[in-house]
């Protein structure tokens, strides 16, 4: 018997699937991964500039100093999106390009770059979706303590107000944070992301102050943008599964779900931290950094929840057969999972991408169903989904990537099935528009629908880009 969760991945011929009218089809990028121009027009270092320039942190010593040179080639990149029929572009603002020290006045040249970008998008009929923070904290704020400090959340609210004042007349969709779990737990717990610190208590403090930053930023946006503008946050909700049906593995799922997901959805969407999370981490902290009134500030009405999904997470009670380095988030001697030493992570079975991540669309289907049940009435948007493969340009200059097309087909089928089963999913953003700087992996992993020849900057739409273009233009997922 094929379950509902498996129908969309069942083998055999499948009929075309039509998405709802008005479904938003987009692509996504992040500022540090594509912009380059690291020291131009007043931009100062972010934590990722510092991290990438530290020997041993990033593969091959790669940095984002040039990246894909989007800062100079933005018009070409917008033309690519228009040619592909993409209806929306989710990009992030580089905080140190706009407000170099993280406090005080803005740099108009930095804002002018985003004004030009947004105007060009609008001129081409592409909806701009602006993310305020995709991990590039101004280094000066990190030097003052970074996200473990409350002051960083307060500075973020000021920055959000500046961005809204400059772009609020053009941008109607805003996201406060991208994947705060990564910022907190990979940046301050395992150290595999910038700023590379490894203190579990700082990771929990950072998570709270990122939550607070989100709430304060939503309030700043609401005070400045038109009433019809939308505010959201993007979370990389982990779809956590047990290795076996044992109660001990179910307990491992509960513990990781608290640290990966409910540490953010609790305060943001329910106005409270989960009691089990507080109990689990009591040996590390009493959470006294949560002040009276913080939770009211954090819980702000959202127009939709952004969901990033790539692969499921498989856990068990630790028995020596797995470790936290099997969680798909990078290798470190320090865990990104505070007070969870008794949990082991395992490689899910089946096909994998170049990142070593299992290809499993059923995880996305299950995740959307859970979110729809847990937060009824809150629309969902897939703000990132995609895969890295070992792409290359053949002698004729073409880039054929059938594995990516297969990945996208399966995951879009999962989204379609979730909608049919009642999930209110309003849009899908392919990650990523361009091959780019893939954080600690440098330029060794290619997620783009558009191939980038890094020495020349030449852009070549891959076969998957043309395939996705057909889906975006018609709203129909072709049969397989």
Query: Could you read off the pLDDT of 212-264 as tens digits, one per residue?
Result: 999 999 999 999 999 999 999 999 999 999 999 999 999 999 999 999 999 99
Active-site residue 384, yes or no? yes
Q: Which of 142, 149, 384, 438 is catalytic?
A: 384
The pLDDT of residue 323 is 72
If we measure between CA atoms, which residue out of 43, 200, 237 comes closest to residue 136? 43
The pLDDT of residue 321 is 66
Within 13 Å and on the Cβ side, how many CA atoms surround 379? 14
Residue partners of 209: CB distance under 8 A and separation at least 6: 147, 148, 149, 150, 152, 153, 289
The pLDDT of residue 4 is 41
List the structure tokens of 221.
């946006």
Question: Where do the DSSP E strands lie in 146-295?
Answer: 173-178, 230-235, 240-242
CA distances from 139 to 150, 193, 210 (A): 16, 14, 16
Q: Which of 35, 120, 142, 179 is catalytic?
A: 179
CB atoms closer than 10 angstroms to residue 28: 27
User: 289-308: per-residue pLDDT in tens?
Assistant: 999 999 999 999 999 999 99
The pLDDT of residue 6 is 45
Tell me the H-state helices in 223-268: 247-257, 263-265
Beta strands 458-461 and 450-453, pairing class: antiparallel
- Residues of the chain short of pLDDT 70, as ranges, are 1-13, 320-322
Question: Where do the DSSP E strands lie in 329-409?
Answer: 343-346, 380-385
Active-site residue 438, yes or no? no
């Amino acid at each position: 018997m094929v379950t509902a969760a498996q129908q969309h991945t069942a083998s055999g011929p499948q009929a075309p699937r039509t998405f709802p009218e008005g479904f938003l089809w987009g692509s996504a990028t992040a500022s540090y991964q594509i912009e380059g121009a690291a020291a131009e027009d007043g931009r100062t270092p972010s934590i990722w500039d510092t991290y990438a320039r530290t020997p041993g942190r990033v593969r091959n010593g790669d940095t984002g100093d040039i990246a894909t040179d989007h800062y100079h080639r933005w018009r070409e990149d917008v033309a690519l999106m228009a040619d592909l029929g993409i209806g929306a572009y989710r990009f992030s603002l580089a905080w140190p390009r706009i407000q170099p020290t993280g406090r005080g006045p803005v740099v108009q040249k930095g804002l002018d770059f985003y004004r030009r970008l947004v105007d060009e998008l609008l001129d081409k009929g592409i909806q701009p979706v602006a993310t305020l923070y995709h991990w590039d904290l101004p280094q000066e704020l990190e030097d003052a303590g970074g996200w473990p400090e409350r002051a960083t959340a307060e500075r973020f609210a000021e920055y959000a107000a500046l961005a809204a004042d400059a772009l609020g007349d053009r941008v109607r969709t805003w996201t406060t944070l991208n994947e705060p779990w990564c910022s907190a737990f990979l940046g301050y717990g395992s150290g595999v992301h910038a700023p590379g610190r490894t203190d579990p208590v700082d990771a929990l403090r950072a998570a709270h102050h990122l939550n607070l930053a989100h709430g304060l930023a939503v309030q700043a946006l609401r005070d400045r943008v038109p009433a019809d503008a939308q505010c959201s946050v993007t979370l990389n909700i982990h779809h956590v599964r047990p290795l076996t049906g044992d109660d001990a593995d179910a307990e491992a799922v509960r513990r990781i779900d608290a640290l990966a997901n409910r540490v953010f959805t609790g305060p943001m969407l329910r106005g409270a931290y989960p009691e089990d999370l507080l109990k689990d981490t009591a040996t590390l902290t009493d959470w006294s950094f949560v002040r009276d009134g913080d939770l009211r500030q954090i819980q702000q009405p959202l127009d939709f929840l952004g969901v990033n999904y790539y692969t499921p997470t498989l856990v068990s009670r630790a028995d020596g057969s797995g470790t936290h380095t099997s969680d798909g988030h990078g290798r470190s001697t320090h865990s990104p999972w505070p007070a969870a030493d008794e949990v082991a992570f395992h490689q899910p079975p089946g096909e994998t991408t170049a990142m070593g991540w299992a290809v499993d669309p059923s995880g996305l289907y299950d995740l959307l169903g859970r979110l729809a049940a847990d937060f009824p009435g809150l629309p969902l948007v897939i703000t990132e989904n995609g895969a890295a493969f070992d792409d290359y340009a053949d002698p004729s200059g073409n880039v054929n990537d059938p594995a990516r097309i297969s990945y996208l087909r399966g995951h879009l089928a999962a989204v379609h099935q979730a909608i049919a089963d009642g999930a209110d999913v309003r849009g899908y953003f392919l990650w990523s528009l361009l091959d780019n700087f893939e954080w600690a992996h440098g330029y060794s992993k290619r997620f783009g629908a558009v191939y980038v020849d890094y020495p020349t900057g030449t852009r070549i739409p891959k076969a998957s880009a043309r395939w996705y273009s057909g889906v975006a233009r018609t709203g129909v997922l072709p049969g397989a």
